[in-house]
Structure 1
Amino acid sequence: MIVYDLECRTGQHRFEGWFKSSDDYTRQQERGYVSCPHCGSGEVGKAVQAPRLARKGNQLPEGQAGRPAPVPAPSSKMTAIAPAPVPEPPPQVVEMIQTLAKLQAAALESSRFVGDKFADNARAIHYGESEAESIHGQATVEEARELVDEGIAVLPLLLPVVPPEKAN
């Protein structure tokens, strides 16, 4: 895992991005998947950052060879952090999310839940082995990619789907 300090070029917002590798960052950047979480801009790049050098786990600071690190004394004080307040999204964004949620709810009502057998059912319908119908369920990212590669139309849902038996 690699962590980059990223910076929005339009709003000068700074944030962290976690990637599997530097190649993963490059691929996501080229495809336009990296965007500013503050303003949504796709004009994002790596910010200047200090190198993060970690000492090997079996190394002690110089001059302390053979001696374990001292254990700090218990304290009644806690270290705390207060996250920055999340700004309210613009009304247009709220309206858009509400509209998408309503469309998604309508799609779920008019389709059959197939659980974790989504990929198998989607393939059977696509290849004419099952009667055509709208279905929804769960699939891994890899299964969804394979379906798309086979030309099978799938749409990810914005909100988690609760199986009917767990809805109450």
Structure 2
Amino acid sequence: MIRYALRCDQGHDFDGWFRSSEAFDTTRAAGHVACTQCGSAKVEKSLMAPVVAAARQAEPAVNPAEAALQALRRQVEANSDYVGLKFADEARAMHEGRAPTRAIHGEAKLEEARKLIEEGVPVAPLPFIPRQKTN
């Protein structure tokens, strides 16, 4: 995951987490990166300082953003079913009433996610890779 410092055209600063630089570019081009304060989709990367680890630390510092992401991951995993690559089909079936409604998370290609949004299916991207995909 890559954390970018972002700034909207109104001058609001905020952070965003993306799987890769290409994922940021694709997501922004699709209009899915918006300012957390005003909602503007005119967002650019702002100047960032690199994270440099100290030579020796007795205890690793806890980054508040990373802690929040871990808490979000635990909440999602504890309260929803992982449906993997069947996410788009499952979400659509629930929206259309063909399947019982429940909380799910999984994976969808960008085009599948776009179609869900166009159809009015309530979905949102998660800022982390599912554990089932990590080694």
Using the size of structure 2 for normalisation, the TM-score is 0.56
Consecutive unaligned residues of structure 2, counting only runs of 5 or more, are 1-10, 12-20, 34-39, 53-62
Deviations 1:129-166 (A, max 9, x none): 10110111110011111111111111211111122xx7
Identify the residue that residue 95 of structure 1 maps to in structure 2. 64
Q: Select which of 75, 80, 99 maps to 1:106.
A: 75
Identify the residue that residue 31 of structure 1 maps to in structure 2. 41
Structure label with greater radius of gyration: 1
Residue 133 (str. 1) matches residue 102 (str. 2): yes
Q: How much does 1:37 deviate?
A: 4.2
Q: In structure 1, what residue type is equivalent to 2:50?
A: V
Q: In structure 2, what residue type is equivalent to 1:114?
A: V
Q: Which has the higher contact order (CA 8 A, sep 6+)?
A: 2
Deviation beyond 3 Å, 4+ runs, structure 1: 17-20
Say which structure is richer in strand: 2
Residue 86 (str. 1) matches residue 50 (str. 2): yes
Alignment of 1:10-21 (within 5 A): none
Separation (CA, whole Å) in 2 of partners of 1:99 and 1:119: 26
Q: CA RMSD in A?
A: 3.3
Q: How much does 1:99 deviate?
A: 1.5
What is the number of equivalent residue pairs in this alignment?
94
Identify the residue that residue 117 of structure 1 maps to in structure 2. 86
Q: Percent of counterpart pairs with the same letter?
A: 32
Separation (CA, whole Å) in 2 of partners of 1:108 and 1:144: 20
Q: How much does 1:114 deviate?
A: 0.9
Consecutive unaligned residues of structure 1, counting only runs of 5 or more, are 1-9, 11-16, 40-84, 89-93
Secondary structure of residue in 2 paired with 1:159: coil
